[in-house]
Amino acid sequence: NSFCTLLATATTAKMQVLARAKAGLRQSSRVTGVDASASNASAIARVAASLPPFLMLYDGQCVVCDASATAVYRLNRGADGGREAFRRIRIATLQSNAGVAFREAFPDLADVDSVFLVETVAAPAVDRRWLRRSSTSRQTVAGERIVRVHAKTDALVRIATLCDAWVLRVAGHLLGIACPRWLTDRAYDVVGRHRLRLLGRRAPDTCQRPSQGLRSREFS
């Protein structure tokens, strides 16, 4: 009898310890995401309060990035009042006020050379499955919102899933499942290292002025 009581007590204590550890891990995941810093939670919350549902951030001095932003504008129309409007992507350069605020909120991404897609969704829809392959993407709970930062291959794949054409959306989902991130991110880095040398750089005084077609999507 006493042995059974002792065994039951030990089992209960062990289950309580495991439950507390699991709860702590779950809370840490909700606050910090993947490699995100909890110390920047207030900065992230301030940025999240003003973000549109989808924001693409790119290097305004990069000719390739500017062309990519133009392509996104053409492939992601999201007409007002139409069923595609909820997928509309706003656009800003990393040199803009929005870009500077983003860098301050995510200082660990300051040295990551990439186009970023910042996605803001309502909490508590925490979903870490899409983070399983990438070391540069982030998911952070900020008040009543969740901020997801897609970088490198993840950014390109997520943008494809938001395009108006269903073919591109399907292709984006398939690439997101099939592409090994370690390989595609490495290829992305190779192109990123040589893009300015091979294709040139826009003048600093023009990097914050999007081309005519992009001005309707500009976010500052």
Query: Structural domain of residue 62, as residue ranges?
Result: 33-217
| Residue length of the chain | 220
What is the structure's pLDDT at 116? 94
Q: Are residues 110 and 193 in the same domain?
A: yes
Q: Are residues 180 and 87 in the same domain?
A: yes
Q: Are residues 127 and 199 in the same domain?
A: yes
Q: Are residues 147 and 190 in the same domain?
A: yes
Say which residues have a Cβ less than 8 Å from residue 23's Cβ, sequence separation at least 6: none
Q: Are residues 18 and 81 in the same domain?
A: no
0.85 exceeded by pTM: no
SS3 34: coil
Q: Are residues 21 and 67 in the same domain?
A: no
Q: Are residues 49 and 124 in the same domain?
A: yes
- Give the count of domains, the chain: 2
Is-contact 151 111, C-beta < 8 A?
A: no
Q: Are residues 115 and 212 in the same domain?
A: yes
Q: Are residues 93 and 194 in the same domain?
A: yes
- Selection from 209, 193, 199, 46 nearest residue 111 by Cα: 193
What is the structure's pLDDT at 127? 56
- Selection from 45, 150, 53, 152 nearest residue 105 by Cα: 45
d(CA 19, CA 25): 10
Say which residues have a Cβ less than 8 Å from residue 104's Cβ, sequence separation at least 6: 43
Rounded to the nearest 10°, the torsion over CA 26, 31, 34, 37 is -140
Q: Are residues 5 and 47 in the same domain?
A: no
Q: Are residues 85 and 180 in the same domain?
A: yes
What is the structure's pLDDT at 60? 84
Positive or negative torsion for Cα 190, 168, 109, 134: negative
Q: Are residues 76 and 111 in the same domain?
A: yes
What is the structure's pLDDT at 175? 86
For the chain, 220 residues long, give each residue's pLDDT as a single digit of tens: 555 565 556 566 556 545 554 444 343 333 333 444 455 777 788 888 888 889 999 988 888 888 888 888 888 876 544 455 567 889 999 988 999 989 888 888 888 888 999 998 876 655 555 555 566 778 777 777 888 899 998 999 999 988 888 899 899 888 888 888 888 888 888 888 887 777 666 655 554 455 555 566 677 6
Tokens 């925490």 correspond to 126
